[in-house]
Amino acid sequence: MRDESGKRGEQMTTADQGFAEWNIAVARMIDALDSEDLPRLLVASLETRVAFDAALVIAYRLGRKPLVLYDDLSSEEHSVHVDGYLAGAYLLDPFYRASIEGRPSGIYRLSDVAPEGFRQSEYYRSYYIRTLQTDEICFLTQLEDGWVANVSLGREHPAASFRRKEIERLRAAAPVVHAALARHWSSGEQPEPEADAATSLHAHVETALANFGRSLLTKREYQVVQLLLRGHSTRSSARELGIAPETVRLHRKNLYAKLDVASQSELFVLFIETLAQISEDPTRDPLLHDSRES
């Protein structure tokens, strides 16, 4: 009994220490609610709950370039995680898609928001895998005026996936995270959303993705190519469209022939290439400006 009692006392001491660290971190965060330092302190508070290798706080809104509110990345990591992401990769990010499609505030893993087959998609192989993250958890928080905040916590070691108990600790912290971000955003201390040519370009890129292939493909082929670009497999595309996988394969074969590509990899490259040729009219299919026409 004494040994058991002693063990219980030691466990309680450890729990008390963790709770004390969390309270101190939250107190600092409360003091900074109206400060631009809030995102950094928010990440620091979550570090008292679980360990992680990389953190990024970013805000999304449909038609606007994402806003990076905080990151703890090295300059080399920044070029992959942030620069490449903001250059247009974010459009195919499952967390971005979940945000603009109205996913409720909450905690999500990549598997919660990514379509089936995402890890075989060209976006995953061309961009996501370069971030070296093997597991990622994100807090999505609905903000004012259609903005959504994403607090992304990542781990890089293959054997270091977030455990169930760790996820539960983060889930318990979620109400504080959501309230702090909403209060901070409403205070006006976040970076000013850009309204310049760069933001306009990203709005055009977003529209270009939505219109990619519309002028050359049938309605069903267009629906299939949109799903393929977003990382869906043949099976999940069939489920989304309510048709048989064999029918999806037939549409994929036909659209590949029309677009003069032979694989999903070439399809992805074609989409990226067409982004450099977007006209002033973003409602047009960007393939109409593809150099292959001439």
Contact between residue 149 and residue 98 where contact means Cβ atoms under 8 Å apart: no
pLDDT of residue 293: 44
Q: Which domains does the chain have, with CATH numbers?
A: 16-187 (3.30.450.80), 197-293 (1.10.10.10)
Sheet (strand 135-142) strand order:
67-71, 54-60, 148-155, 135-142, 106-109
Task: State residue 8's pLDDT score.
Answer: 47
Q: What is the pLDDT of residue 51?
A: 93
Instruction: For residue range 235-285, list pLDDT tens digits in order.
Output: 889 999 999 999 999 999 999 999 998 887 788 778 877 765 555 555 666
pLDDT value at position 132? 65
pLDDT band, very low/low/confident/very high, at 291 (cuts 50, 70, 90): very low
**Which residue has better confidence, 243 or 119?**
243
Contacts of 49 (CB under 8 A, 6+ apart): 18, 22, 166, 169, 170, 173
pLDDT digits 0-9 by tens, 141-172: 999 888 999 999 988 876 678 999 999 999 99
Q: How confident is the model at residue 189 (pLDDT cuts 50, 70, 90)?
A: low
231-236 long-range contacts (CB < 8 A, ≥24 apart) are: 231/92, 231/94, 231/114, 231/115, 231/117, 231/118, 231/121, 231/123, 231/124, 232/115, 232/116, 232/117, 232/118, 232/121, 233/115, 233/116, 233/117, 233/120, 234/117, 235/116, 235/117, 236/115, 236/116, 236/117
What is the percentage of the chain residues whose pLDDT exceeds 90?
A: 40
pLDDT of residue 196: 54
Could you report the per-residue pLDDT of 28-76, keeping only the tens digit for each? Answer: 999 999 999 999 999 999 999 999 988 999 999 877 888 999 998 877 7
Give the least confident one: 45-49, 121-125, 129-133, 259-263. 129-133
Q: Provide the mean pLDDT of the chain.
A: 82
Structural contact between residues 281 and 200, judged by C-beta atoms closer than 8 angstroms: no
* For the chain, percent of residues with pLDDT exceeding 70: 80
Which of 3-7, 15-19, 57-61, 211-215 is the most confident on average?
A: 57-61
Q: What is the pLDDT of residue 286?
A: 63
Q: Cα–Cα distance between 81 and 84 in angstroms, integer?
A: 6
The helix, strand and coil proportions of the chain, stated in percent and rounded to the nearest 5, come to: 60, 10, 30
